[in-house]
Amino acid sequence: MNYTYRHARPAVTADCVVFGLDEEDLKVLLVQRGQEPFQGHWALPGGFAVVGEALEDTARRELAEETGLKDVFLEQLYTFSDPQRDPREHVVTVAYYALVNLSDHPVQAATDARSAAWFCIDDIPKLAFDHDRILQTAYERLRGKITYQPIGFELLPEKFPLRMLQGVYEKILDRPLDKRNFRKKILSMEILEELDEIETDVGHRAARLYRFNKRVYDDKVKQGFIFEL
């Protein structure tokens, strides 16, 4: 089936920069391309827009198809429209970034014969298209965003100790933070619920677990509260 239009149209795609966090590092999810161009190269998961589907849905759908990830935190990043960014033709891509926690979302074999894998943020191979640039833009945005919005929770399991949350900030900002000051600050926002549970299976004193309270957070956002770290 072919589609004909009176004027030439650029193709439209949606791509995702998916950030994940394990005990060690901040990671990015990449897929290996099965076709030309850039066959065999690693690339951001993504795919072509479908008429009648919002691009955020396209991004989510492609992400699920190529990597198995669902229900992730997803925000629009930027739209890249350089006519040369795809060697075949003019392709406009709307890039999104996603945050997932690796414990809930293990690396999954790709469902459509491409392989998917997590790469450490500072050990990324040369990517297909202009995906290096997209990734860099996403990383900068993430660093900028986390300092004034508590999005770090999206990278953690539902219940987590404060040490882990501090680790998120340290890994994204790439600098150490003072434990006491960090706790003071994050607790003063009053968006964490202190649970009556502690960690298990740790080889030392177990820490108390906390949970992000999205209801309270949304209320505070509405009242104009600023969450600067």
Partner DNA sequence: CCTCCTTAGTGTTTATTTGACACTAATATA
Partner DNA sequence: TATATTAGTGTCAAATAAACACTAAGGAGG
Binding region for DNA (CB under 7 A)? 161-163, 178-181, 183-185, 198, 202-208, 228
Between CA 208 and CA 202 the distance in angstroms is 12
Task: Catalog residues that contact a copy of itself under the rule CB under 8 A.
Answer: 1-12, 48-56, 76, 78-79, 81-83, 89-90, 92, 94
Nearest in space to 190 (alpha carbons), one of 220, 224, 223, 153: 220
| Token duo for residue 93 | 């891509």
Q: Which residues pair with 18 in a beta bridge?
A: 29, 98
Q: How far is the CB of 204 from DNA (least distance, A)?
A: 3
Between CA 157 and CA 152 the distance in angstroms is 11
Between CA 202 and CA 145 the distance in angstroms is 31
Residue 167: contacted member of DNA, a copy of itself, none (CB under 5 to 8 Å, by partner type): none
Q: How far is the CB of 78 from a copy of itself (least distance, A)?
A: 6
Between CA 150 and CA 27 the distance in angstroms is 19
Residue 143: contacted member of a copy of itself, DNA, none (CB under 5 to 8 Å, by partner type): none
Q: Both ends of the chain: CA-CA distance in Å?
A: 53
Residue 180: contacted member of a copy of itself, DNA, none (CB under 5 to 8 Å, by partner type): DNA
Residue 227: contacted member of a copy of itself, DNA, none (CB under 5 to 8 Å, by partner type): none
Q: How far is the CB of 227 from DNA (least distance, A)?
A: 11
CB nearer to a copy of itself: give 22 or 56: 56
Instruction: Give the number of other CB atoms < 10 A from CB of residue 51.
Output: 6
Q: How far is the CB of 161 from a copy of itself (least distance, A)?
A: 31
CB nearer to a copy of itself: give 12 or 189: 12
Q: Which residues pair with 119 in a beta bridge?
A: 28
CB nearer to a copy of itself: give 3 or 223: 3
Residue 184: contacted member of DNA, a copy of itself, none (CB under 5 to 8 Å, by partner type): DNA
In 22-150, DSSP assigns E strands to 26-32, 42-43, 46-48, 73-80, 91-101, 116-120
Between CA 91 and CA 183 the distance in angstroms is 46
Residue 90: contacted member of a copy of itself, DNA, none (CB under 5 to 8 Å, by partner type): a copy of itself
CB nearer to a copy of itself: give 83 or 125: 83
Q: How far is the CB of 104 from DNA (least distance, A)?
A: 20
